[in-house]
Amino acid sequence: MPSNVEIKAQVYDHDTLTQRAKEMSGSEGTIIKQQDTFFTVSKGRLKLRDFKNGSGQLIFYERPDMDGPKLSNYSITATDDPDGLRKVLTDALGQVGEVKKERRLYMVGQTRVHVDTVEGLGNFMELEVVMKENQSTEEGVAIANQLMQDLGVKNEDLIEGAYMDLLLAKDQKNGH
């Protein structure tokens, strides 16, 4: 199963972070609109990522909910009928909820740097160090930590869990 080391953080200075990511990647980044629908499963997380262009991906992943770098194991498959698949999975499993975001993707070495604007939550940065076959988790963590420093992200800005968790927590706090 492929794996990556992930770091997620709240972003307070969107423009500075975006500028640093552009410089480090040598690109303007790729804008990707995404709607993720999460389904009720007994372990891990199952989400359907809809790119809003007729294509999507069904993604299953497992990772610990904790601050800082964490190893994710995942499996993924493409679909050209995200709406139909969403309906079938909703009927079969039930939905946890949805996350809508605009993502700007920059590649820095083997790392995907995502600068995300999440509807209802704000701005975030996510690093995904895509692990090579014989690379240790420690190497992935070291790469993530170095990039975090280079991008000017502080330890206290790190968050745990998925955007879905943050949205659910916000809804609970607001009494929904």
pLDDT in tens for each of the 176 residues of the chain? Answer: 778 899 999 999 999 999 999 999 999 999 999 999 999 999 999 999 999 999 999 999 997 766 677 788 899 999 999 999 999 999 999 999 999 999 999 999 999 999 999 999 999 999 999 999 889 999 999 999 999 999 999 999 999 888 999 999 998 888 76
| CA separation for the pair 152, 137 (Å, rounded) | 22
Exposure string of 140-172, with b = 16+ CB inside 10 Å and e = fewer, is bbebbbebbeebebeeeebeeebbbbbbbeeee
Residues 6+ apart with CB under 8 A from 104: 18, 21, 29, 30, 31, 32, 114, 115, 116
Domain ranges of the chain: 3-173
Class for domain 3-173, per CATH?
Answer: mainly beta
* 61 in Cβ contact with 44 (< 8 Å): yes
Q: What pLDDT is recorded for position 66?
A: 66
How many angstroms separate the Cα of 32 from the Cα of each of 60, 104, 128?
20, 6, 16
